[in-house]
């Protein structure tokens, strides 16, 4: 067992454990902090798999931006946190059905293909080569994704503004 | 790196399963969004592993787009959650009608 595979299994254990801890927390802030740990582990795994640019992006966007956004929302909204029953029986049935179907398909894909049993080589895609590849072969997808981000920005702004205008109008009417 | 792709796919599958379980069973809209995030992250992990296994950079490019889509989805989803909370004063999806 080489150092790389040792690191891989260590990171896998950290990611799975912290994700399970995140999913089973009652307190939302604790869940989000555990998930940040999980995403840091995924970033290190990306680095181990030869994608340093994606590792940096994972830390900056996932752990940095998205999780902090969640944290802001949780702190903005005062949730009654002790009322929720964890994993109620009624919702476990669809979860089990989804899980069984998914596990069957996943096992078929994972172990059915002979090419997946060979061990992975060591390779690194430098950010330079990666950027060159993306903009040479997938420039249209980059444009579409940037348009999608713009649409998401406008949509989020619209959803956030609607209520303020209404409350401002209501505030004008009442006095 | 002496790890077969099977082990990485198993890890990604386990993460995806945790995400599905979280999104389906938790009765809190924020936890549902967190489950979707976990699933997207697992998909990106599988893509990067496959890109290493076959020495193609396509997988990494798709993982980059997965990250961008996750960012877009979170911004709109959290704005929707704020709207729902302002209107119904609850985050329980069963009580929102």
Pairwise CB contact (< 8 Å): B27 & A88: yes
Interface contact flag, B57 A85, Cβ < 8 Å: no
Say which CATH number the domain at A25 has: 1.20.120.1200
Q: Using CB atoms, pick whichever of B2, B33, B91 lies closest to residue A4.
A: B2
Any idea where the domains of chain B sit in the sequence?
5-88
Percentage of chain A beyond pLDDT 70 is: 83
Show which of residues 35-64 on chain B sit within 8 Å of chain A, judged by CB atoms: 35, 37-38, 41, 44-45, 48-49, 51-55, 57-58, 60-61, 63-64
CATH assignment, B5-88: 1.10.287.3510
| Domain interval for residue A167 | 123-175
Across the interface, which of B11, B65, B70 has its CB nearest the CB of A66? B70
Q: Radius of gyration of chain A from Cα atoms? A: 22
Q: Please indicate whether, in this complex, the C-beta atoms of B38 and A35 are within 8 angstroms of each other.
A: yes
Confidence at residue A83, expressed as pLDDT on a 0 to 100 scale: 63
Considering the domain architecture, whether residues A127 and A76 belong to the same structural domain is answered as no
| Most A CBs within 10 Å, among B46, B57, B96, to test the A interface | B57
HSE, CB side, 13 Å, CA atoms: give it for residue A170: 6
- At B66 the pLDDT is 93
- Whether residue A70 sits in one domain with residue A2: yes
Q: Does some domain include residue A130?
A: yes
- Record: contact B85-A1, CB cut-off 8 A: no
Q: What is the pLDDT of residue A175?
A: 42
Residue A152 domain-assigned (yes or no):
yes
Is residue A132 classed as helix, strand or coil in its secondary structure?
helix
Q: Are residues A128 and A67 in the same domain?
A: no
The whole-angstrom separation of Cα A96 and Cα B68 is 30
The yes-or-no verdict on residue A117 having pLDDT over 80 is no
Kindly report which listed range (A7-21, A64-78, A82-96, B29-43) carries the lowest average pLDDT score: A82-96
Nearest C-alpha neighbor of A51 from the set B71, B42, B59, B12:
B59
Residue A51, in any domain of the structure: yes
d(CA A172, CA B45) in angstroms, rounded, equals 52
pLDDT band at B91 (very low <50, low <70, confident <90, very high): confident
Number of domains comprising chain A:
2
Confidence of residue A96 (pLDDT cuts 50, 70, 90): confident
Question: Using CA atoms, how far apart are residues A84 and B26, in angstroms rounded to an integer?
Answer: 9
Q: How many CB pairs under 8 A join A and B?
A: 235
Indicate yes or no: CB of B48 within 8 angstroms of CB of A49. yes
- Residue bearing tokens 């967190």: B34
Identify the DSSP state of A87.
Answer: S
Q: Which of A22, A56, A80 is the last residue of a domain?
A: A80
pLDDT reading at A164 higher than 60: no
Q: Which residues of B touch A163 (CB under 8 A)?
A: 83, 86
Of the candidates A64, A80, A96, which is a domain's last residue? A80
Which pLDDT band, with edges at 50, 70 and 90, does A173 fall under?
Answer: very low
What value does the mean pLDDT of chain A take? 83
Residue A85 reports pLDDT greater than 70: no
B26-67 tens-digit pLDDT: 888 889 999 999 999 999 999 999 888 888 889 999 999 999
Identify the pLDDT of residue B4.
Answer: 83
Question: Which chain A residues are Cβ-neighbours of B71 within 8 angstroms?
Answer: 61, 65-66, 149, 152
Say what the ipTM of the complex is.
0.91
Q: Do A148 and B17 touch (CB under 8 A)?
A: no
Chain B residues touching A73 at Cβ < 8 A: 30, 78, 81-82
Split at pLDDT 50, 70, 90, the class of A172 is low
Tell me if chain A has a CB within 8 Å of the CB of B96.
Answer: no
Chain A residues with CB-CB distance to B4 below 8 A: 116-120
pLDDT at A44 over 60: yes
Asked if A68 and A132 sit in the same domain, the reply is: no
Q: Is A70 helix (H, G, I), strand (E, B) or coil?
A: helix
Please report whether residue A54 resides in a domain. Answer: yes
Considering the domain architecture, whether residues A74 and A147 belong to the same structural domain is answered as no
């Amino acid at each position: 067992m080489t150092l790389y595979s040792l690191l891989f299994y260590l990171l896998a254990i950290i990611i799975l454990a912290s994700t399970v801890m995140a999913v089973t927390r009652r307190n939302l802030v604790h869940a989000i902090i555990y998930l940040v740990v999980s995403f840091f582990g995924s970033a290190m795994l990306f680095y181990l798999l030869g994608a340093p640019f994606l590792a940096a992006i994972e830390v900056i966007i996932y752990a940095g931006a998205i999780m902090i956004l969640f944290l802001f929302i949780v702190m903005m909204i005062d949730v009654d946190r002790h009322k929720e029953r964890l994993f109620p029986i009624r919702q476990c049935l669809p979860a089990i059905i989804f899980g069984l179907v998914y596990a069957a398909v996943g096992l078929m894909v994972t172990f059915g293909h002979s090419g997946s049993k060979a061990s992975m080589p060591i390779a690194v895609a430098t950010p330079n080569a990666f950027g060159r590849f993306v903009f040479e072969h997938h420039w249209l997808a980059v444009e579409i994704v940037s348009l999608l981000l713009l649409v998401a920005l406008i949509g989020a702004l619209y959803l956030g503004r609607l209520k303020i205008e209404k409350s401002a109008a209501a505030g004008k009417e009442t006095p | 790196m002496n790890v077969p792709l099977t082990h990485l796919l198993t890890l990604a599958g386990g993460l995806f399963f945790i995400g599905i379980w979280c999104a389906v069973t938790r009765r809190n809209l924020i936890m549902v969004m967190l489950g979707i995030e976990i699933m997207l992250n697992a998909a990106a992990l599988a893509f990067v592993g496959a890109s290493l296994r076959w020495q193609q950079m396509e997988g990494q490019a798709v993982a980059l787009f997965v990250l961008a889509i996750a960012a877009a989805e979170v911004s709109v989803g959290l704005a929707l959650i704020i709207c729902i909370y302002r209107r119904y004063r609850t985050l329980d999806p069963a009580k929102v009608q």
